[in-house]
C-alpha cells in the first residue's frame, strides 16, 4: 500500500501508467476511475485533444441521443487542468484506435458511448511538485 494513490488504482494499473510513454493511449470507461487516473497521468498538451470518445452513429445523431457521461468527462478533465474538447472519433476508427492503445481497462461502465481514450503527455519542469 502506498500513500497518495487512489484505492481504485490497482498495482497492475499503476505499473501500466508508469510504463506508458508520451503519446501512448489508454482506453477506459468510468468517471470514478478517470478521476483517479487524472491524479497520476499527465495528459498530452501538444495535441488538439488528449481525450477521445466514440462519436454517435448516424441513427443516434438523428434521434438526438444524449450522452451525459461526456459532460462528466469534460468536468473531470477540466478539474485536472485540461479545458480542451473531447475528440469525437467515428465508431470503427475508434475500435481500431482502441486496439492500438497501450492499455485497455475493462470496467463496468454502462453509459452509452462511455468509452474513452486518453493520450499521455509529459510532465513539464514547472509541474513537478
Active site residues: 22, 44, 95
All three cell numbers of 108: 463496468
First CA to last CA across the chain, in angstroms?
Answer: 21
Contact between 84 and 51 (Cβ < 8 Å) = yes
Half-sphere exposure at residue 112, Cβ-oriented, CA atoms within 13 angstroms: 10
Rounded-to-integer distance, Cα 97 and Cα 53, Å: 11
Amino acid at each position: 500500500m502506498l500513500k497518495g494513490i487512489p484505492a481504485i488504482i490497482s498495482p497492475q494499473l499503476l505499473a501500466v501508467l508508469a510504463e506508458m510513454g508520451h503519446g501512448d493511449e489508454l482506453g477506459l470507461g468510468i468517471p470514478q476511475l478517470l478521476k483517479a487516473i487524472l491524479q497520476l497521468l499527465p495528459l498530452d498538451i501538444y495535441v488538439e485533444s488528449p481525450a477521445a470518445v466514440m462519436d454517435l452513429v448516424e441513427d443516434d445523431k438523428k434521434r438526438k441521443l444524449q450522452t451525459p457521461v461526456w459532460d462528466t468527462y469534460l468536468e473531470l478533465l477540466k478539474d485536472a487542468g485540461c479545458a480542451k474538447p473531447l475528440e469525437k472519433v467515428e465508431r470503427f476508427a475508434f475500435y481500431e484506435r482502441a486496439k492500438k492503445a497501450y492499455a485497455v481497462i475493462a470496467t463496468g461502465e454502462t453509459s452509452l458511448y462511455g468509452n474513452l481514450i486518453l493520450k499521455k503527455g509529459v510532465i513539464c519542469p514547472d509541474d513537478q511538485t
